Amino acid sequence: MWILLITLGLASASLEATPQYPLWPNVFTQTFNETLYYPEFGNQTTTGTYYYDWTNQMYRIDRANGRFDRYCGLVGFRVLTNAPCSHIVVGGNRFLYYPNDGTCCFCCNAAQGCGMLKPTWLDNATFIDTEVHMGVQAYKWNKQGLQNNFYFETAVASPSSRVMLGIYQEPNDLMDFHKITYSVPSGIFDLPKTCSLKTVCPEISTCTAVRNASN
């Protein structure tokens, strides 16, 4: 009897349909809130906006406070400074921009691993389950990298009708996404005048470590 029950349990589990892989829209804007955990600082929260335009190969992430972002927060003298910060990726080049004082530096490029995510970046992700996430019925996936990267989206059959709800990069970066808009504000990717490939981020920075790692 036990064996029969176990066998049936396995059979029904394997019959649970795996949804098609997630697929990002080519163009979207979504606000988010984020919690970053560091043993020495505890949980730090901020808010931001994600602008994505695959058609024109550009994206931008604004954070109200970039201090605890692993790129924005570790750029030479800026270590541990509370300040808004943006990643702006245009033409395969990533810049870090600090709107409070207008400074900007070139961080790294696509060849160094700093390009943009493709709409299909979640192909081959492992489907975990359907569960309630932030009060919404959600598909949970894991896109394994060096660590688990959990991805949550609305549980809808058609990938193109789903909306991203969250990205949790273990062990310490949790992002929850809000309502989606299928457009980007005009001019949002215009590089501030202070951004130049000649103004490279300081020697002591995550950017430099990333550039060096690819050489």
Q: What is the contact surface with ligand NAG in residues (CB under 6 A)?
A: 33-35, 37, 42-43, 45, 120, 123-124, 174-176
Minimum distance between the CB of residue 193 and ligand NAG, rounded to whole angstroms?
34
Q: Residue 205 CB, nearest distance to ligand NAG (Å)?
A: 25
Q: How far is the CB of 56 from ligand NAG (least distance, A)?
A: 21
Comparing CB distances to ligand NAG, the nearer of 165 and 210 is 165
Strand order in the sheet with 85-90: 103-109, 93-98, 85-90, 58-63, 42-53, 27-38, 173-181, 164-169, 149-154, 136-142, 126-133
**Shortest distance, position 208 Cβ to ligand NAG, whole Å:** 28
Nearer to ligand NAG, 171 or 187 (CB): 171
C-alpha span between 162 and 157 (Å, rounded):
8
Q: How far apart are CA 59 and CA 46, in angstroms?
A: 19
Which residues are bridge partners to 34 per DSSP? Answer: 46, 175
- Nearest residue (CB) to ligand NAG, 34 versus 153: 34
User: Given the complex with ligand NAG, which of 107 and 114 has the nearer CB atom?
Assistant: 114
Query: Shortest Cβ distance from residue 33 to ligand NAG (Å)?
Result: 4
Residue 95 or 168 having the CB closest to ligand NAG: 168
CB atoms within 10 A of CB 133: 19
CB-based contact 206:70 (threshold 8 Å): yes
Upstream peptide bond of 39 is cis (omega within 30 degrees of 0):
no
